[in-house]
Amino acid sequence: MIKQMGEKPWRVDRKPRLLNAAIVALVRNENLRGMRSTLRQVEDRFNRNYGYKYVLLNDVPFTDEFKQGVQAMVNTKVEFGLLQNGTWGLSPYISEDKVHQKLRENQHRYIYGDNLKYRFMCRFQSGFIHKHPLLKDIDYYWRIEPDVEYYCDMPYDPFRLFKDHKFKYGYTIAPPEKPETVETLWETTKEWIRRNKHLLPKKSFASFILDNNNNYNMCHFWSNFEIVDLSLYRSEAYQSYFDFLDRAGGFFYERWGDAPVHSIAAALLLTKSQIHWFEDVGYHHVGYQHCPQPRDLHLYCNCNPRDSFTATSPCQQRYNELDDITKKELLARLGI
Ligand code: GDP
Ligand code: MN
């Protein structure tokens, strides 16, 4: 095919070979407008050239209006799924009375302080999404949310990139977490490490999450956009880690988010070479945005490169500057 002036280099006229992957969101019927907006952007920026399937999940059945409304925005199949029993709700190991007491205590301490459903959401995204029947045979997912912005054309298949480079986790924005929401997450994580040293790899990017006192520095990958090789979440180590956290109760007594949980696991279980920063994914979700700055990356983006959180983010700086540490060094730094 002869390329015309101004024609984008990736406008291929043959059907690309797809991997076993899906674009996935947990979403409510009430988010129809926001979901249509996100889907349209993902479709226009990327997926209309590929045709990966979409999987939308909900804790209650999707309405016909929702199904028709989202299907109309995209060219490929949308699969709609209901969450399975036991994957949406309280952890079976914890005290319901204590949960309600803690919700009252935390009501004014941070956003979603007393929101029980928000905690169901974080627990589901941390421990169960990769096990849903519609995803259980899928190798990679790209997680999306309603009401976000994708500013840039994506001229390649990110799942193929993952396969070719053996990437396991990909993100675009790395902010710090609110410490009040994860008060005992690090203590609990250390206890899991103490009991499960055999599950840690010989080296990892744990340096990313440790401060000078070897406590958790609150850095995490913002999981409202994440591309993941799901073998990470299905690994014995991750499953063991999630189960330990679930038993400790912090998804409810505190407000542990799926973002710090995924991120701490990725940092402990992966090397830096397996964690990919999508510098080229211009992205906005309420709170932060990333707009690519190098001109070649910015050319097909609809955002202001001066308006980018990532440029000054201390967590991103850590990603840029630090290297892996050995398991031996990690255990020594943690006093284990
Ligand atoms: P935030 O980004 O942390 O403020 O949380 P969101 O409200 O954006 O929720 C994260 C994701 O979970 C979004 O994709 C929401 O659509 C979805 N979500 C949150 N709560 C619920 C819920 O109660 N039911 C369903 N089905 N989806 C939810
Ligand atoms: Mn959100």
CA distance linking residue 151 with residue 158, whole number of Å: 16
Tokens (6 digits) for 10:
């990736």
Helix axes 64-71, 32-45, angle to 10 degrees: 20
Average of per-residue pLDDT across 35-48: 98
**Cβ(59) to ligand 1 under 6 A?**
yes
**Using CA positions, which residue lies closest to atom 24 of ligand 1?**
28
Average of per-residue pLDDT across 154-170: 97
Ligand 1 centroid to Cα of residue 26, in Å, is 7
Q: Model confidence at 1, in pLDDT bands (50, 70, 90)?
A: very low
Q: Model confidence at 293, in pLDDT bands (50, 70, 90)?
A: very high
pLDDT the model gives residue 258? 98
List of residues 6+ apart from 191 with CB closer than 8 A: 244
Ligand 2 centroid to Cα of residue 126, in Å, is 15
List of residues 6+ apart from 102 with CB closer than 8 A: 252, 253, 254
**Cβ(204) to ligand 1 under 6 A?**
no
| Fold of the domain spanning 21-333 | Spore Coat Polysaccharide Biosynthesis Protein SpsA; Chain A (3.90.550)
pLDDT the model gives residue 16? 84
Residue 9's alpha-carbon distances to 3, 6, 136, in angstroms, are 7, 9, 34
What does DSSP say about strands 203-204 and 53-58: parallel, antiparallel, or unpaired?
Answer: unpaired
Assign 145 to helix, strand or coil. coil
**140 has which bridge partners?**
21, 229
ipTM of model over 0.95: yes
Domain segments of the chain as ranges: 21-333
Q: Model confidence at 308, in pLDDT bands (50, 70, 90)?
A: confident
Average pLDDT, the chain: 95
Q: In this model, does residue 44 exceed pLDDT 90?
A: yes
Q: Which of 42, 129, 145 to mutate to test the pocket of ligand 1 (most atoms within 8 A of CB)?
A: 145
Q: In this model, does residue 3 exceed pLDDT 50?
A: no
**Cβ(224) to ligand 1 under 6 A?**
yes
Q: Ligand 1, closest atom to CA 224? A: 2
**Using CA positions, which residue lies closest to atom 28 of ligand 1?**
27
Residue 290's alpha-carbon distances to 21, 225, 282, in angstroms, are 25, 11, 5
pLDDT the model gives residue 9? 55
CA distance linking residue 310 with residue 288, whole number of Å: 9
Ligand 1 centroid to Cα of residue 251, in Å, is 15
